[in-house]
Amino acid sequence: MPNRSDGFPGLPGDLSQLLARAQKAQEDVARARASLAAMTAEGRAGAGMVTAVCDGTGELVRVRFEPGLLAREEASVVEDLVVAAVRDARRKAAELERTTMAGVMGGLTGGLPMPPGLADLLGRS
């Protein structure tokens, strides 16, 4: 029997509830993605001589160098340090994303294990 009191009139109650939960999960994912964009993850290399900062989605937003580093090191050393710092920052950003999205996805699956690929399907635009 149709449940007309929800957001999907004409659908059976169970299906309508499922669609409403899926719609809420989609909204939760969008909010989580927006909050990730506001978070930062900092990666370091060369004992802090190079620092890279990524947002929570892994987008590189800033690179800082220890004062004098560029004057005293060869370009190839600095290049290697930049790569290492960016990798470190992106790894930390990926962990932020995993942690943030796990909370959203856990609500969607009711605490059951996440089916393979579901997080990517819902979490990526």
* Sequence ranges of the domains in the chain: 39-123
Element housing 90 (H / E): helix 75-109
Least Cα distance to 110 among 17, 6, 10, 41 occurs for 17
72-85 pLDDT, tens digit each: 989 999 999 999 99
How would you class 81 by CB atoms within 10 Å of its CB: exposed for 0-12, middle for 13-18, buried for 19 or more?
buried
Lowest mean pLDDT among 9-18, 43-52, 67-76: 9-18
Q: What is the pLDDT of residues 5-40, one digit of tens each?
A: 455 566 666 777 888 888 888 898 899 989 999 999
Q: Extract the tokens encoding 30.
A: 């969008």
> Residue 95: is its pLDDT beyond 80?
yes
43 close to 90: Cβ distance less than 8 angstroms:
yes
- Mean confidence (pLDDT) of the chain: 82
Fold of 39-123: Ybab; Chain: A; (3.30.1310)
- Identify the band that residue 46 occupies on the pLDDT scale cut at 50, 70 and 90: very high
